[in-house]
Each structure stands twice: as structure tokens, then as C-alpha cells.
């Protein structure tokens, strides 16, 4: 339903005085999502995960320019189309309760989301009731303010905002950090459920473990490029292809717990060739000179 190829995002900033500076924050992202599947997007901070979500929703800052091809349900996803689809066909599940208006009752906020998705006020109200019931949220929750919610309740309300819209594509941006393991499990199962209903789900996270629990496939981002898209089971089977993915896997506490040496390059000093070249154990002269394109590899094993 969604296919992204070679997405680039450039920020234009004013440096000193009137000198303009171009910052390449996303170099070449590739991703595709089918209806009914959960695709996890993992990567370190600054790898372009959240910006991808913002690009899909057309909420990048005004100084951003996009390149590459985006296709949603068979048609090009232009910024104009994003604007008309967001909140209706594409929904965002935000990171934390900080994404809710602190001074508005949560029931009203979720109802507003349903209304923006095209439902009448009365229908929207029923949708909220139905959705809250589905997630075991007591009716009194509607009258609560965000600061009165427990961590688990807040998560379920944030998931509700996507569920009331009937959106076919749901983007969950870092839905799990700082939560109790039970709440993490519950949130992940809710996302899996959304996929079972036939929606496409993008799970943006830096928690590989969480991603592997529910995702069908995992896309690994590094410095604004997709370095690998692998099936979830490839991780535990050791069928990983890219040295960065392998290093990430090894860095998990339950595996070898060895950190990946070096740092992700900053958008201000991107290397000429492959963005991972300065940390890559297999680096060669060719990849120092030019960036290798993403290739389809045969299944291993």
C-alpha cells in the first residue's frame, strides 16, 4: 500500500547572516508496507525515523524540501495529497502523552480526531465510546485531562486516536520508551491487532527487541539511509546481511553486548561514499568513493 524509494529530505538553514546552508537530513530512504503487516523502522537518533513519519504526514517544517518517490495506494503521495489524507487514511500514534493538549479533556480530543477523519459529531462520539470500550478504558476517562492518566491509560488513548480514524496506514512513532514492560507488551499487541484488521503499521522505534516481537519485517536506518530491510526471523537466525545490522544485533545485552565503535555521521559532514564507510569492517575503496544502492538479495538459508 505504501512504497518509498530514494526519499531525500534537505533542510535549508540560514547560517551566518544571509549565507544559506543545505542540510541533508535524509539521504536515501527506501521502505514498503503492505496492508496487514507491521514493518518496524529501527535506527539510532538522527537516522531519519521520525522525519520519515513527518514526511508521510506532510508536517515537515517549511524549510524542508523532499525528493524521491512516494506511492500510497497506487498513487503518488505528494505533499498536497498528504495534507488531504492525514488524519483520514494515514494516522499517527505519537510518542507520549505530551502530544495531547494538556488543557483539553481526552475524550474531547479523541472525538475531535474522529471528526477530522470525516465523522459527524454524534458518530464521532459513538466511535470514542466504542474505542474506549475496546481498550478497557472506563467511560470516566473521557473527562480526564492528560496529566491525570497513568502511563498505560495514556498509551491506550494514543492508540485510540488512530483507531477512531479507520486509517489504512498507521505510523507509531516511538510508542514504547520509558514504559513498564507490561505496558510495552500491551501496546505492541494493540499494534499487531491493528495489522490483523488489515491496516499497514509502521512501528518506529530504537528498541530492536520490541520491534522483533511484533514486526513482520524490520527496516534498519542509518544516517538517513535504509541499510537493510530484513524479515524479523532473520535476526534470530543470524541471516543478517549488512554489517551495521549485525553490529546492532550484537550490541543487545542478551547477545554479545558489544557497542558499535564510532558515531553516526552528522548531516553537516556526510562522507563522499557509503555513509557507514568509516565504521565498516568490510570497507573497500569502491564504497569510500560511491554509495552502494539498495539491492534485492536472495533469501539466505
Tell me whether residue 92 or residue 223 sits nearer to other proteins (CB atom). 92
Which residues of this chain interact with other proteins, rule CB under 8 A? 57, 59, 83-84, 86-88, 91-92, 94-96, 98-104, 112-113, 116-117, 145, 147-148, 161, 165
Instruction: Closer to other proteins by CB, 116 or 260: give it.
Output: 116
Minimum distance between the CB of residue 172 and other proteins, rounded to whole angstroms? 12
User: For the chain, how many residues are written?
Assistant: 301
Nearest approach in angstroms of CB 97 to other proteins is 9
Radius of gyration over every alpha carbon of the chain, rounded to an integer in angstroms: 20
Provide, rounded to whole angstroms, the least separation between the CB of residue 52 and other proteins: 13
Q: Measure the CA–CA gap between 297 and 301, rounded to whole angstroms.
A: 12
Shorter beta-carbon distance to other proteins: residue 18 or 103: 103
How many other C-beta atoms can be found within 10 angstroms of the C-beta atom of residue 60?
A: 20
Sheet-wide strand order for 169-173: 75-76, 64-72, 2-14, 20-33, 225-231, 217-222, 38-42, 200-205, 169-173, 90-93
Q: Largest Cα–Cα distance of the chain, in whole Å?
A: 64
Q: Which is nearer to other proteins, 30 or 173 (CB)?
A: 173
**CB closer to other proteins, 7 vs 275:** 7
Q: How far is the CB of 164 from other proteins (least distance, A)?
A: 10
The dihedral built from the CA positions of residue 224, 30, 62 and 92, taken in this order, carries a sign that is negative
Give me the least distance between CB of 292 and other proteins, in Å please. Answer: 34
Amino acid at each position: 500500500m505504501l512504497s518509498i524509494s530514494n526519499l531525500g529530505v534537505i533542510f535549508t538553514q540560514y547560517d551566518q547572516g544571509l549565507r544559506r546552508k543545505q542540510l541533508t537530513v535524509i539521504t536515501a530512504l527506501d521502505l514498503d508496507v503492505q496492508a496487514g503487516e507491521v514493518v518496524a523502522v529501527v535506527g539510532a537518533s538522527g537516522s531519519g525515523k521520525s522525519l520519515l513519519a513527518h514526511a508521510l504526514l506532510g508536517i515537515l517544517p517549511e524549510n524542508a524540501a523532499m525528493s524521491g518517490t512516494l506511492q500510497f495506494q497506487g498513487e503518488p503521495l505528494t505533499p498536497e495529497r498528504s495534507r488531504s489524507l492525514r488524519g483520514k487514511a494515514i494516522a499517527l500514534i505519537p510518542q507520549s502523552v505530551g502530544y495531547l493538549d494538556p488543557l483539553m479533556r481526552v475524550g474531547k480530543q479523541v472525538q475531535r480526531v474522529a471528526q477530522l477523519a470525516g465523522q459527524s459529531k454524534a458518530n464521532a462520539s459513538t466511535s470514542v465510546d466504542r474505542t474506549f470500550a475496546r481498550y478497557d478504558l472506563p467511560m470516566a476517562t473521557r473527562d480526564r485531562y492528560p496529566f491525570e492518566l497513568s502511563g498505560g491509560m495514556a498509551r491506550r488513548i494514543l492508540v485510540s486516536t488512530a483507531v477512531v480514524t479507520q486509517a489504512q496506514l498507521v505510523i507509531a512513532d516511538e510508542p514504547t520508551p520509558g514504559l513498564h514492560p507490561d505496558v510495552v507488551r500491551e501496546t505492541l499487541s494493540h499494534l499487531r491487532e491493528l495489522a490483523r484488521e488489515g491496516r499497514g503499521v509502521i512501528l518506529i522505534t530504537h528498541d530492536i527487541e520490541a520491534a522483533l516481537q511484533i514486526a513482520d519485517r524490520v527496516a534498519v536506518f542509518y544516517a538517513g539511509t535504509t541499510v537493510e530491510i530484513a524479515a524479523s526471523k532473520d535476526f534470530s537466525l543470524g541471516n543478517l546481511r549488512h554489517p551495521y545490522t549485525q553490529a546492532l544485533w550484537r550490541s543487545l545485552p542478551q547477545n554479545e553486548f558489544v557497542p558499535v565503535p564510532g558515531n553516526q555521521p552528522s548531516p553537516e559532514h556526510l562522507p563522499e561514499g557509503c555513509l557507514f564507510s568509516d565504521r565498516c569492517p568490510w570497507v573497500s575503496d569502491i564504497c569510500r568513493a560511491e554509495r552502494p544502492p539498495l539491492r534485492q538479495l536472495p533469501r539466505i538459508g
